[in-house]
Amino acid sequence: MPATPTPEEIARAAALIRASRLVAFPTETVYGLGANALDAEAVARIYKVKRRPATSPLIVHVASIEMAKSLVAEWPEAAERLARIFWPGPLTLILPTLRADLPPGPASGPMIPAIVTAGLATVGLRMPAHPIALALIRAAGVPLAAPSANRFTELSPTMAEHVRRSLGNEVDCVLDGGPCQVGIESTVLSLAGPQPILLRPGGISRRELVSILGPIASLQDAFGHEVPLGAHPSPGMHARHYSPRTPLLLVSNGELAEKGKGIYLQHAFPPNRSDIKTIQMPIAAADYASALYERLHEADEANVDWIAVDVPPTKPEWEAVQDRLRRAATRAKRTRTK
């Protein structure tokens, strides 16, 4: 286990944030690549280092509900309830942002520059459940814009080593907090329209949200099958995302037809061939999610021709894992955001 960063290291990282530099930091979901969310130049560096298209907005990380409220034009009752229950935690709320082109309202606070939200009238906010992330935001005294700390479309990092391997010395500092517990990204929920919309399944399940809010729409309900790419209701939802470099196959009942050398991530079904390196995945959904990216990073490093995944059951608690596996297995659609 790495030693947790000392207060001096946190203070140094916070000083880098205030000096428009980039700091990778652990959260409970995945590692984030953070910059001062109020500093357009610093945020521009995030897009450059990640090679991320400017049309893909960033989540703004806060250390309190107060900080979140200061960044939005509206803080609806639903936001208050969800934040009180699930924050700090893996839930991102999409809310109307303060806009530079509108007259300041009664609650107006610091402006989030348009580069953070990809020009949208909404901003994604979350309070991460990780002591190092919260300490960094508090020490910097500003909200942190932070996507996952990997190159665009690649696997998200759940260990400091994954960040260093992906971004190398293009990041000014990596705070090492050991492996991320939740292991997949936050749930993204829009509260910016007349009905709540689940934009990305994640660490907080749909069921948990429905138990608080009542019915929640899905992207398909809200926009039909053709999600308007230009308008970007949730621009992170590119078909190909979260992908290892090695081709990833989804397999049912252990039926492997592939030639060549591979790794099999078993859930319930053993492979139909004995010459395959098999890794047993955790049986419960939360434990599976926690291990998934780490196992995929390892498999990706193993120089095999393919990674086969024994698809877990199609049950509600598996929604986020199913979503990530589907995207990781979708190939050659890199141009959709252009």
* Binding flag, residue 181, ligand TXA (CB under 6 A): no
Considering beta carbons, is residue 88 or 128 the nearer one to ligand TXA? 128
Stretch that binds Mg ion, among 77-85, 97-105, 146-154, 272-280 (CB under 5 A): 146-154
Name the H helices within the chain. 7-18, 40-50, 65-69, 77-86, 131-140, 160-167, 206-213, 219-223, 285-301, 319-329
- CA–chain centroid gap for 17, Å, is 20
Q: Does the protein bind ligand TXA through residue 146 (CB under 6 A)? A: yes
Kindly state whether residue 57 participates in binding ligand TXA, applying the rule CB under 6 A.
yes
One of 14, 63, 115, 117 touching ligand TXA (CB under 6 A): 117
Q: Which of 10, 21, 26, 29 binds ligand TXA (CB under 6 A)?
A: 29
Residue nearer to ligand TXA on the CB measure, 155 or 251: 155
DSSP letters for 193-221 = SSS-EEEE--SS-HHHHHHHHS--EEHHH
Minimal CB distance to Mg ion: which residue? 148
Considering only residues 153, 181, 234, 290, which one is a binding residue for ligand TXA as defined by CB under 6 A? Answer: 234
**With binding defined as CB under 6 A, does residue 285 bind ligand TXA?**
no
Going 154 to 159 to 165 to 168, the CA torsion angle's sign is: positive
Rounded to whole angstroms, the Cα distance separating 110 from 200 reads: 27
What type of residue is 288? Y
Question: From the CB of 22, what's the least distance to ligand TXA, in Å?
Answer: 13
Q: Which of 68, 120, 198, 307 binds ligand TXA (CB under 6 A)?
A: 120
Q: Mark 242-281 with x for binding to ligand TXA (rule: CB under 6 A) and - for no binding.
A: ----------------------------------------
Let me know: does 265 contact 288? Beta carbons within 8 Å: no
Is position 143 an interface residue for ligand TXA (rule: CB under 6 A)?
no
Measured CA to CA, the distance from residue 23 to residue 286 in angstroms comes to 28
Matching residue, tokens 């120089």: 303
Tell me which residues in 74-103 interact with ligand TXA (CB under 6 A).
90, 92, 94
Measured from the CB atom, the residue of 89 and 124 that comes closer to Mg ion is 124
Strands of the sheet containing 187-190, edge to edge, are 173-174, 23-25, 32-36, 144-145, 59-61, 122-126, 91-96, 187-190, 197-200, 217-218
Which 8-state DSSP code applies to residue 127? -
For residues 164 and 157, what is the distance between their CA atoms, to the nearest angstrom? 9
Q: Does 148 bind Mg ion (CB under 5 A)?
A: yes
Stretch of residues binding ligand TXA (CB under 6 A), selected from 101-109, 146-154, 207-215, 277-285: 146-154
Task: Say if strands 173-174 and 91-96 run parallel, antiparallel, or are unpaired.
Answer: unpaired
Nearer to ligand TXA, 166 or 306 (CB): 166
Closest residue by beta carbon to ligand TXA: 236
Number of C-beta neighbours around residue 172 at 10 A? 17
Q: Which residues of the chain form contacts with ligand TXA (CB under 6 A)?
A: 27, 29-30, 32, 56-59, 90, 92, 94, 117, 120, 122-124, 126, 128, 146-148, 185-186, 188, 199-200, 234-237
